[in-house]
Structure 1
Amino acid sequence: MFGFSFSLAKMTAVVAVVNLSIAMPAVAETIRIGLGVDPAHGEYFVAAERGLFKKAGLDVELVRFTQGGEGVDAALTGLVNITSAADMTTMIRMARGPLKPLAIGQRSINSIKLTVSPKVQSINDIKKFGIVAGSVSEYAARAALKKFGVDATGVTFVRSGPPELPALLARGDIDGYFVWEPLASLGVQQGGKILMTSVDAGYQSHMWITANAAWYETHKDEANRLVEVLSEAAKIIAADPEAAAKDINAQTRLPVDQTATTLKMYDWSVRKFTPQDIEGYKNIATFLAENKMTDKLLDVAAAVPVDTSGTK
C-alpha cells in the first residue's frame, strides 16, 4: 500500500492556481499579416494605429515586406497567417500551394501607371521594360503590350525591386516601367512622364485579403473579425484620406501629403467576391497561363469563394 499525504496548505495552493487559471481570460493568439509598405495597404496601418484590432479582441503583428508578393510567399509557407496583395499577384502563387481568399480590400482606380522616358511617344518605343516580376507591374506591362499589338519577344524585361525603378529610368537603363503610386510619380519627378494607367491596358487591380488555408480552417472566427475591422478602417480612409495618411505615416513614416494623394486613387470598400469578379479573374488566369506566369490554368471558380447573396 502506498503512503500518501497532502497538506492543507498545498491543497489550498492548488485550488488557488486552478481558480486563477479559470478566471484569467484566454490570451489571443498573434495573427501575423504580411504586406508591403505602401498606401495600397492603408487599412491595415489605420486599423493598427487606431487600435481597431485590439478593440475586436485581435492580437495582430504587421510583418512588412518590400512588396505584396513577398507577403503572399510568406503566407504560402506559413510564416504569416494573412496577406494583402493584388489579385494577379496572389493568383500566380495560388498554383503553388493552398491559399484562402477572404475578401477584396480595395480597388485601384488609377494608381498603377506606366512611367516612361521623355523620348518615348508610344508603347511601341519601349524596348527595355522595367518590371517587378510576379506582380501587377509585370502583368500590366504584358497586358499593355498585348492590347496595343506589340510583340513581347522584341522587348527586354528588366527585373527590379519596386524602389529602384525610378532610378533605372533616370539612368536610361530602361525605357519605362509599370508600377503603383507613389513610385510612378517619383519617376516623373526625375524627368519621366506618365504614358497610361493599367486601366488603359485593360486591367483594374483588386487588392485581396488572403489567408494561409491551413490556418484559416482553425481560425475562421478570427479571420472574419479581421475582415470586419479592415472594412471599418477602409471607411475611415474613404471619409478622410488626409487623417488616414497621418495614421499611415505614424506606422510607416511614408510622407503624409504624398500618401493622402495616393489614397484617393483607390476605391476603399472591403467586400466579398461576386460572380462578376470571378469572370474578370478568369481572364487574368488565362493570361497568366498563356504567358507562362503560371504552370497551369488556375481554376478561379473553385479557388475563390463567391457571395451570391448580393450583400457586401
Structure 2
Amino acid sequence: MSHRRLAAIALAATLASPALATTPLIDAPAPLSPPVRLTIGAVKVPHVAPFNGVAEIARPLGVEVEVVNFVRYADVRTALASGSIEVGSIGPADVPIAVSQNLRGIIGLMGVGVSAKHPIVRNGVTLEKWEDLYGKRVAIAPGSAVWFQFAATVTEQNIAYGRLNIVNIQGGGQPFVQAMERGDIDLFIGWEPFESMAIQQGLAYRQTKLDYSTSRAVGAELGMVGATRAAVEQKREALRRLVWAYLKVQNDISASKEALGNAIAAWTGLPPQVAKAVADDMTLEQSLTVDQVQRQAREFHRLGVLTRDVSAELPQFFDLSIYQSVVRR
C-alpha cells in the first residue's frame, strides 16, 4: 500500500476517533547522493506495520530499501548475525540472546511498541488468578519474546514455573490457534494477530485480569529494530534516514486506532475486524531503554535461559543516538 493511501486512511480515520500520541520529528534529512541501499528483514507482525510504507518515504531521501519477509524473530536474528540483511525487526531479548551466544554483530536501534499481554484461554476454562495456571495445559513458544515476558512475570508472582504443564509450540503463531481448535491446550501465551484470531474464531477469550507485560525484568516492549554493526559504522546516514522514514509512517498510521487497524490489515493481510482488535490493544512508540534490556539479561541468566549474564556488555550493543538524532527536542 502506498504512502499516499496510508495517509488518506489516517486522515479519514482521524475524523472518526481521537488521535494517538505522535513522535515529533525534525525536518526531512537532505537526500544522500549517490543513493544508498539497505536490505531489511521484517516479520509481518502488527507492531512493525510502519515497514509497509518505509520504502516510499526513504526513496526521496536517497535510501533504496529492499524488504525481505521472515516468519520468526529468531530467523531475522540469524540473518543479521550472518550479514545477509542489514536491518531487521527482532524481539526485545534478541540482542542479549545474540551476545550470550558470542554473536557480536547486532546493534539495537530502537523499540517499536508496547502492549498489555494477557493469556488467551480456551472457552470453558477458568483462569482467574496466577495460581490457576497449575494443572492447565499452557502453550508457549520456547525462547520467544512473549515467553520471556510470561516466565518473568509468573516467577515474580511466586509461581513455580517448573510445576506448570508446558506445551511447546513451534512454527510461528498459527499452530497456537490450531492446537486450541483441536482442544490440545487450555491456554496459550502468544502474540498478535494470533491472539485476536483465536478470539474472533470463537475459540477463546482474553483474560485481562492477568497481565504478563508488567514484570520488572521484561516489561511491555513488543520488539525492536536492530541493524548490523557494519551498517551502523558504514551506512549510518542511510540508517538515520531509514529511521526518520519509519517514524514518519508510524505517525501517519497512528493518527487514530482506525488508521492503525487499517495499516495493520494492509501489512499483515488480516481481516479488518481482527486488525482493529489488535490495534485497540497496542501503541507504537519508542520507550525501550538499555537499562530495561539489561534487567532482562540479568533475570534470564538467573532463570538459566541465558548461559551467562551479559548485562554489563549490552551498552556497547545499542545505539539509540540514531533514533534520538531525528526526534525534535
1:142-187 superposed Cα distances (whole Å, 9 cap, x missing partner): 1232122221112224132211102212323222211222211222
1:251-290 alignment, distance < 5 Å:
251-270=267-286, 277-290=289-302
Worse-matched range after superposition: 54-63 or 85-94: 85-94
User: Which of 158, 161, 171 is equivalent to 2:168?
Assistant: 158
Residue deviations 1:238-283 (CA, integer Å, cap 9, x gap): 1145345545544542333432442343332347x6xxx2332222
> Is residue 35–residue 64 contact of structure 1 (8 Å, CA) maintained in 2?
yes
Change (3 A) 1:245 1:62: farther
Mapped contact 1:32–1:81 kept (Cα < 8 A): yes
Kindly state the Cα deviation for residue 220 of structure 1 after the two structures are TM-superposed: 0.9
Q: Distance in 2 between matches of 1:287 and 1:125?
A: 24
The residue number in structure 2 matching 1:175 is 186
* Map of 2:15 onto structure 1: none
**After the TM superposition, which of the residue ranges 290-299 and 258-267 deviates more from structure 2?**
258-267
**Structure 2 counterpart of 1:72, one-letter code:** R
State the TM-score, normalizing by the size of structure 1. 0.79
Between the aligned partners of 2:121 and 2:51, the Cα distance in structure 1 is 31
Where does residue 132 of structure 1 map in the other structure? 141
What is the match of residue 113 of structure 2?
A: 107
Higher relative contact order (CA 8 A, sep 6+): 2
- Distance across 1 between alignment mates of 2:290 and 2:150: 22
Output the TM-score relative to the length of structure 2: 0.75
SS of alignment partner, residue 103 of structure 1: strand
Structure 1: runs of 5+ lacking an equivalent: 1-24
Aligned residue for 1:33?
40
Q: Which AA in structure 1 matches 2:285?
A: S
Equivalent residue, structure 1, for 2:228:
212
- Over 6 Å off, 4+ runs: 308-312
Asked if residue 147 in structure 1 is aligned to residue 159 in structure 2, the reply is no
Q: Encode CA deviations 1:169-217: one digit per residue, 9 max, x unaligned.
A: 2323222211222211222234222223333455211531110112321
Q: 1:228 aligns with which of 219, 244, 249?
A: 244
Aligned AA (1:159): I
Superposed CA deviations along residues 111-147 of structure 1, whole A, max 9, x for unmatched, are x331123323244343432122222221122123212
Secondary structure of residue in 2 paired with 1:129: strand
The Cα of 1:45 is off from its aligned counterpart by 0.9
Distance 1:144 1:280, change over 3 A: same
SS in 1 for 2:118: strand
Q: Does the C-alpha gap of structure 1 residues 270 and 201 become closer, same or farther in structure 2, counting only changes over 3 Å?
A: closer
Cα distance in 1 between the residues matched to 2:180 and 2:154: 19
- What does 1:48-63 align with in structure 2 at a 5 Å threshold? 48=55, 51-63=56-68
Give the paired residue count.
280
Are 1:199 and 2:224 matched, yes or no?
no
Q: What's the % identity of the aligned pairs?
A: 17
Residues 206/159 of structure 1: CA separation in 2 closer, same or farther (3 Å cut): closer
Higher Rg? 1
* C-alpha separation in 2, matches of 1:128 and 1:90: 30
What pairs with 1:44-123 in structure 2 (closer than 5 Å)? 44-48=51-55, 51-96=56-101, 97=103, 98-104=105-111, 106-110=112-116, 112-117=117-122, 118-121=124-127, 122-123=129-130
CA distance in 1, matches of 2:76, 2:232: 16
